[in-house]
Amino acid sequence: MDIFQFVIDQYEKRFGIKPDHVARAPGRVNLLGEHVDYNDGLVLPAAINLATWIAFSPSGTDTSTLVALDLEKEESVFDSKTIQTKTSVDGHMLTDWAKYPAGMAWTLLEHGLAVKGMNAVFSSKVPRGASLSSSASVEMTFGIAWQALGGWSISPMQLALTGQWAENKYVGMNCGIMDQFSSACGEKDRLLLLDCRSLEYRTLPLPEDVAIVIADTSVRRTLVTSAYNKRRESCEDAVILLKKKLPNLKSLRDISVEEFNKLSSILPEETRMRAQHVVNEIERTSCAIPLLEAGDINAFGELMNECHASLRDLFGVSGTELDLMARLAQPLPGCYGARQTGGGFAGCTVNLVKKEATQEFSKRLSSLYEAQTGLHPEVYVCQASQGAELVK
Ligand code: GLA
């Protein structure tokens, strides 16, 4: 059964009637521009054909009852008062997953938008904790749902900003805009190019004969939020110190690689390494744009490989299994480039592969990885997909 029908059936089972609506929002994969979104850089993600789906109706009251189908149908019940204190109506603290929808509702209310109580069930095909933005896809699905019930309408970019705000101020993860943006603004068969400073974006093609292959190490890590927030702080520290020499500097976007290399000795070693990655990565992503436009996937793939090395050696967000997965993939026939994607530490790699070689590539990568780790990796050949939408 497809997930559309699944959420409808589950809604009916739980609430006794058919849902009024169904919405979906995809996860994302990022091809280049990693850990630069919160440094005003450029990112090159795509929304993927794995999404979170929700079936919902207004509850007719201020109370929302949400059912997480993938988490043993755990329920969370909150209203506009209890979300202020991150509690459910029975006074318990909200569980982790419930903070994403509650955070969306809270942010919408903070911005003066009506949030009607809803009954909802939701389920996701985006693997959790795998660096494919499962949380952003939950936020965007609920954003679409509250929009449908609230009688207001905001742009996909505004919806993305709402999700980022929820995550920063409610959940406590100081993420940038890339994940929510990709989930909200995705386009079928297109890569997205976002300038995280101006929030202007456009789409770019991927050659017909090239596929995006995602390889999940199947390893997950805890404490990722604090490690992520720490990386972001290092970048902010670098800006404060570099400002002494360059008073107009607002973010690491404003310094060229050459200038940075001249000045970097004023930074403490760890801060220097983190900032070096960001400055180089922003440059790499700018260089990638004409390459993609010209269809030069060989050169683009090289930049992906460089990005992986930089995340590993300078930014310190790789992991043993991610390194292994990228290392095994890079020399395989048909592979243009392979690197970890998203926040890092664990989760997935993204690979650009010649379409005709994808089957063999996926088979060989899985068996090589499994032979060395004893872990079975999930490998997806994915398509760039449409962003968040009301389906019914
Ligand atoms: C996570 C964050 C994004 C971005 C990436 C790294 O996915 O949510 O905002 O910073 O890490 O590029």
The pLDDT tens digits for 142-188 are 999 999 999 999 999 999 999 999 999 999 999 999 999 999 999 99
Catalytic residue among 179, 189, 195, 323: 179
Q: Check: CB of residue 329 under 8 Å from CB of residue 351.
A: yes
Residue 117 has pLDDT above 90, yes or no: yes
Relative to beta strand 335-340, strand 348-354 is: antiparallel
The encoded tokens of residue 168 equal 């920063």
Residue % of the chain over a pLDDT of 90: 99
* Distance from Cα 9 to the centre of ligand 1, integer Å: 34
Q: Check: CB of residue 358 under 8 Å from CB of residue 161.
A: no
pLDDT of residue 303: 98
Q: Is the dihedral of CA 83, 149, 183, 22 positive or negative?
A: positive
Largest CA distance in the chain: 67
Residue whose CA is closest, atom 1 of ligand 1? Answer: 343
Residue that is written with structure tokens 């998203």 in the block: 342
Q: Is the CB of 41 under 6 A from ligand 1?
A: no
49's CB contacts (< 8 A; 6+ apart) are 26, 382, 383, 384, 385
Residue 223 has pLDDT above 90, yes or no: no
Q: Is the CB of 35 under 6 A from ligand 1?
A: yes
Q: Is the CB of 260 under 6 A from ligand 1?
A: no
The pLDDT tens digits for 87-98 are 999 999 999 999
Residue 384 has pLDDT above 90, yes or no: yes
DSSP, collapsed to helix, strand or coil, labels residue 348 as strand
Measured CA distances, 244 to 41, 137, 240, 257 (Å): 21, 40, 7, 18
Q: Is the CB of 387 under 6 A from ligand 1?
A: no
* Distance from Cα 147 to the centre of ligand 1, integer Å: 25
| Distance in angstroms (rounded) separating the CA atoms of residues 357 and 55 | 38
pLDDT of residue 201: 98
What are the DSSP calls for 78-141, one per residue? Answer: E-TTGGGGTB-TTSPBPPTTTHHHHHHHHHHHHTT-----EEEEEEE-SPTTSSS-HHHHHHHH
The pLDDT tens digits for 33-61 are 999 999 999 999 999 999 999 999 999 99
Look up residue 339 and give its amino acid: R
Ligand 1 atom with the shortest distance to the CA of 34: 12
- Which pTM value belongs to this model? 0.98
Substitution site in 137, 161, 178, 307 for ligand 1 pocket (most atoms within 8 Å of beta carbon): 178
CA 220 to chain centre: 15
Q: Is the CB of 33 under 6 A from ligand 1?
A: no
| Distance in angstroms (rounded) separating the CA atoms of residues 200 and 185 | 12
Q: Check: CB of residue 10 under 8 Å from CB of residue 55.
A: yes
For the segment 130-144, the average pLDDT, to the nearest whole number, is: 98
66 beta partners = 76, 120
The encoded tokens of residue 227 equal 């490690």
Q: Is there a catalytic annotation at residue 189?
A: no
pLDDT of residue 1: 79
* Distance from Cα 324 to the centre of ligand 1, integer Å: 21
Relative to beta strand 210-216, strand 64-68 is: unpaired
For the segment 63-79, the average pLDDT, to the nearest whole number, is: 98
For the segment 300-328, the average pLDDT, to the nearest whole number, is: 98
For the segment 238-264, the average pLDDT, to the nearest whole number, is: 98
